[in-house]
Amino acid sequence: MIWQVIEIHLRRLRHNRVEWLLTFVVPIAFFSIFALIFTRGVGTTPRVKVVLVNGAAETTDSAVITDRCQKVLDSLGENEGLKVIRGSSDSTTVDRATAESMVRRGTATIAVVIDQKDEQLAAELLNDASDQVASQVVTALVTREIMIGLAPNPTALPRSRSSSEGDRPQATDSKQNEQADFAEFVRNVASKPEADASPSLDKVSSIGQPVLAPPQIEVVNVIGEGKTNPVISVYAAGIAVMFLLFGATTGGGVLLEERENQTLERLLATHMTMDQLLLGKWFYLTLLGCVQVTVMFVWAQLVFGLNLIEHFDGFAMMTLATASAAASFGLFLATLCRTRGQLGGLSVVAVLTMSALGGSMVPRYVMSEPLQRAGLWTFNAWALDGYDKVFWRELPPGELGPQLGVLMATAFALLLAARLLAIRWEVT
């Protein structure tokens, strides 16, 4: 008898495509997605978007100092770990005010300002604090380039007594020589006591080489400074959008239930048209989604200190657009499927995939550039970018044009697709 029970379930599994999908395909798909994120995103540190500023050009008339700063900026621009964002012109450098505006608008993650202070090159990083990794990466790269620029002869950097030419294996080319010399140079500088550091090249070590002090690097958080709970809006938006999609697909599944119990046929036999039926359901799901997201953010304000009242206009616009797109998505999946079981399996795969790529589960800034571009095919990414502009960057509602445009276009396109798919219910 036990074997008969097992045999019945095996036969059921063999003929149930949805169960096959959820049992074998979905785990592999999500393993692949997160493997790509954490091996090609976090593991390899995606390129940081930076904008370069020659501070000396604004603060001094000395051509020598300006050229020294520009040399460091040019070296940073060639670094493979950075993605230099250009201004309105073809130049790689912009003025400080423009750079700060670009960071606030999200065009760049960090603005690197190189200037000379106390007769030494120094850097100021205008940082977006939402990316907690970028500032550390850029600080290390800027420190390296400034120290190389300060060295009187980069090919003859200070070496320790134990690392003479006879003791160390010869490098195969000049590039390896430079990397090996710089590694020893950094170790020598890092080992110097802080009290012995000097901003100039006047001091000389016991082996006759100049001692360089680490450059002054100041990180200024132009976004995130003074916020009581800076990342709570990111979490609230990510979770709200994901469960908004689940709620919309569940609500759209009522169409399939009405189809199965013949309620749909009786509704269409009256004066109600399919257009009216779909629009009625779309308006209901949109309003329900708006209430669902509002409850989430009100809770975030009451319990976690999210500042909702001051940003309510932008929040209302983003919530309405996101809820309307989610409602269209739910109706599209419902009209695409033939049974409630198919809808359940397909909705789980679709919603979780969009949430993973769109940033609801993992912040998009830790993903590699190909995955970030792939995430733009989900409206999770556009919705989260919109909420980010409202609560984190505190931009006016006029800056929400791209996000609102994509979400409303998605809502219209999916609702139109649902209407075309529903034609089969009118002719049967």
Domain count, the chain: 2
Residues 134, 255 within the same domain = no
Range of the domain at 122: 48-223
206, 223, 240 - which closes a domain: 223
* In the predicted structure, residue 287 carries a pLDDT above the cut 70: yes
Res 9: pLDDT: 66
Residues 159, 96 within the same domain = yes
Residues 218, 239 within the same domain = no
179, 196, 223 - which closes a domain: 223
Res 31: pLDDT: 67
pLDDT tens digits, one per residue of 371-417: 888 889 998 899 999 998 888 888 888 889 999 999 999 999 999 99
Question: Whole-structure pTM over 0.75, yes or no?
Answer: no
3-class SS string, the chain: CHHHHHHHHHHHHHHCHHHHHHHHHHHHHHHHHHHHHHHHHHCCCCCEEEEEEECHHHHCCCHHHHHHHHHHHHHHHCCCCEEECCCCCCCCECCHHHHHHHHHHCCCCEEEEEEEECCEEEEEEEEECCCCCHHHHHHHHHHHHHHHHHCCCHHHCCCCCCCCCCCCCCCCCHHHHHHHHHHHHHHHHHHCCHHHCCCCCCCECCCCCECCCCCCEEEEEEECCCCCCCCHHHHHHHHHHHHHHHHHHHHHCHHHHHHHCCHHHHHHHCCCCHHHHHHHHHHHHHHHHHHHHHHHHHHHHHHHCCCCHHHHHHHHHHHHHHHHHHHHHHHHHHHHCCCHHHHHHHHHHHHHHHHHHHCCCCCHHHCCHHHHHHHCCCHHHHHHHHHHHHHHCCCCHHHHHHHHHHHHHHHHHHHHHHHHHCHHHHHC
* In the predicted structure, residue 316 carries a pLDDT above the cut 90: yes
The rounded mean pLDDT for the chain is 76
* In the predicted structure, residue 255 carries a pLDDT above the cut 60: yes
223, 243, 266 - which closes a domain: 223
